[in-house]
Amino acid sequence: MRCGRFLWCLGMAGSLVLASSCSSWVRASWEVVRGVYHMERNHPSEALGAFQLSLTDRDVYPYGMYNLATLALSLGEYEQAELRYSRLLEELQMQEPEAVPQKNRELLFRIWYNRGYVRYVLENYEGALSDFRSALILKPSEGTAKRNLELALKALEQKKAHTGTIHSMEMSRKKDAGTVLFEYLRQREGTLWKSPRGEDTEPVPLDY
């Protein structure tokens, strides 16, 4: 998977270089490749610096941001990763997979797929389901995304079942507690006016 990601970024950068003679575009594209190289070799500081440098070009910016989010994911900073993926989707104004242009399909697939994974880890199973579905609209034959969709659906069903069980147990405990209290009050009320066992129970004349 890591090799595939590196080759994808390398191919993306190569396409950008061939498509433009703009020096800032070339430099930013190279920083993306350099950042992925360091990320694959567990050099997070170097990768972070390279990806930040890649943000200087408008056209390369989405790829730099995507890799910044993926770097956070690889470091276990899941909340930060989700925030960056979500921010990138907002900036790309791509909330619906059906509206994704062909040239952006691979990048958007990766964003939705990875955010789905992050949300699954964070136990936001409904969000994960939505993201995996969006990813599969772009790549319907992607087997790993299908498997993750099934896992997210199963986890959501188990969570709902568990929540329902806890709710039932809480209601049962409240009912039992109420029954015990009522029984205690009933017994208390019944014995409040009874004389203690063994004491004289003969009537006492009123003192006028």
User: What integer pLDDT is reported at residue 8 of this predicted model?
Assistant: 55
How confident is the model over 102-161, as pLDDT tens digits? 778 899 999 999 999 999 999 999 999 999 999 999 999 999 999 999 999 999 999 888
How confident is the model over 26-61, as pLDDT tens digits? 999 999 999 999 999 999 999 999 999 999 999 899
| 174, pLDDT greater than 60 | no
Cα end-to-end span (Å), the chain: 102
User: What integer pLDDT is reported at residue 105 of this predicted model?
Assistant: 87
Neighbours of 97 (CB within 10 A): 18
User: What integer pLDDT is reported at residue 70 of this predicted model?
Assistant: 96
User: What integer pLDDT is reported at residue 102 of this predicted model?
Assistant: 76
| 207, pLDDT greater than 50 | no
pTM score of the predicted model:
0.69
| 192, pLDDT greater than 60 | no
User: What integer pLDDT is reported at residue 64 of this predicted model?
Assistant: 96
Mean pLDDT for the stretch of residues 87-108: 79
Mean pLDDT for the stretch of residues 159-180: 61
| 21, pLDDT greater than 70 | no
User: What integer pLDDT is reported at residue 186 of this predicted model?
Assistant: 57
User: What integer pLDDT is reported at residue 161 of this predicted model?
Assistant: 86
CA atoms within 13 A on the CB side of 3: 0
Answer yes or no: CATH 2.60.40 is held by domain 101-186.
Answer: no
Residue whose C-alpha is closest to residue 97's, from 151, 133, 51, 53 = 133
Place 82 in a pLDDT band, splitting at 50, 70 and 90. Answer: very high
Name the residue ranges covered by the structural domains of the chain: 1-75, 101-186
Residue whose C-alpha is closest to residue 103's, from 63, 143, 132 = 63
| 71, pLDDT greater than 90 | yes
